[in-house]
C-alpha cells in the first residue's frame, strides 16, 4: 500500500486540469456568443437606421409632389434645424421628384429616364442623416408615372408615381453597413406614399 500514496494526488491534479480546460472552453464559448450577439445587435441597428432614412425620403417625396411641386426649404441643410438634404443637391432632388428637366449639367447615366440624375446614395446622396452613430445616405429616383386602374387620371389620386428609395447606413468605426432599397407609390395632393410589395 505504501507504493500508491501518490496516486490520489495525481488523480486530483488530473481532475483539476480537466476542470480548468472545461472552464477555459466555457469562457471562450461565452465570449464568442457575446461577440456574435453584439454583431447582430449592431447589424440590426444599421438596418433600422437605413429604414428610418427610407421613411424620411418618403416624407420628402410626399411633401414635394404637392402643388406647386417645390422641395420645402425646411428639408435643406441650411435650414434651422438642419434638414437632411444637402443644399447643393436640393435643385436636382426637386427635379427628380417632380419629373422636371434636371438642372445643368443633367448627369444622366445610360438606362435612366431623363428626369433622373446619375447620383447614388454612396457617392452623391440626395439626403444625409446621422442616426444612432450611423451615417445614413439616401437616394431617391423617380421610376415612372402611371394611371391607377379604374380611376380618372385627371382627378385627385388618379395617377401614381413610382419612386425607388435606396438608403445606406454605415459606421466607419465598426465597419458595419446596411443597405435598404424599396419602391414607393405616391399620389398627388398628399394622399400618401406607400411601400409597394
User: What is the count of structural domains for the chain?
Assistant: 1
Domain that holds residue 40: 2-195
Predicted local distance difference test score (pLDDT) of residue 111: 46
Report the DSSP beta bridge partners of residue 180: 167
Q: What are 131's three cell numbers?
A: 442616426
| pLDDT of amino acid 2 | 57
pTM of the model: 0.73
28: which residues sit within 8 A by CB, 6+ positions away?
none
| Helices 5-65, 90-98: inter-axial angle, 10-degree rounding | 70
Given phi > 0 = left and psi -120 to 50 = alpha, else beta, which region is 116?
beta
pLDDT score, position 115 = 56
CA distance 159 to 145: 7
Asked if the model's pLDDT at residue 104 lies above 60, the reply is no
Amino acid at each position: 500500500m505504501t507504493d500508491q500514496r501518490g496516486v490520489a494526488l495525481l488523480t486530483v491534479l488530473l481532475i483539476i486540469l480537466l476542470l480548468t480546460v472545461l472552464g477555459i472552453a466555457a469562457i471562450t464559448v461565452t465570449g464568442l456568443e457575446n461577440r456574435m450577439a453584439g454583431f447582430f445587435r449592431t447589424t440590426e441597428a444599421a438596418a433600422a437606421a437605413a429604414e428610418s432614412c427610407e421613411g424620411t425620403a418618403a416624407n420628402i417625396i410626399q411633401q414635394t409632389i404637392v402643388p406647386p411641386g417645390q422641395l420645402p426649404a425646411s428639408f435643406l441643410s441650411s435650414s434651422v434645424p438642419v434638414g437632411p438634404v444637402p443644399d447643393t443637391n436640393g435643385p436636382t432632388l426637386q427635379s427628380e421628384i417632380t419629373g422636371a428637366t434636371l438642372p445643368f449639367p443633367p448627369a444622366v447615366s445610360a438606362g435612366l429616364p431623363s428626369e433622373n440624375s446619375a447620383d447614388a446614395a454612396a457617392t452623391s446622396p440626395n439626403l444625409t442623416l446621422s442616426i444612432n452613430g450611423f451615417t445614413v445616405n439616401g437616394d431617391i429616383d423617380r421610376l415612372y408615372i402611371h394611371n391607377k386602374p379604374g380611376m380618372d387620371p385627371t382627378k385627385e389620386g388618379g395617377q401614381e408615381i413610382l419612386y425607388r428609395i435606396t438608403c445606406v447606413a454605415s459606421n466607419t468605426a465598426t465597419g458595419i453597413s446596411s443597405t435598404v432599397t424599396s419602391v414607393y407609390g405616391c399620389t398627388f395632393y398628399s394622399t400618401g406614399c406607400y411601400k409597394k410589395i
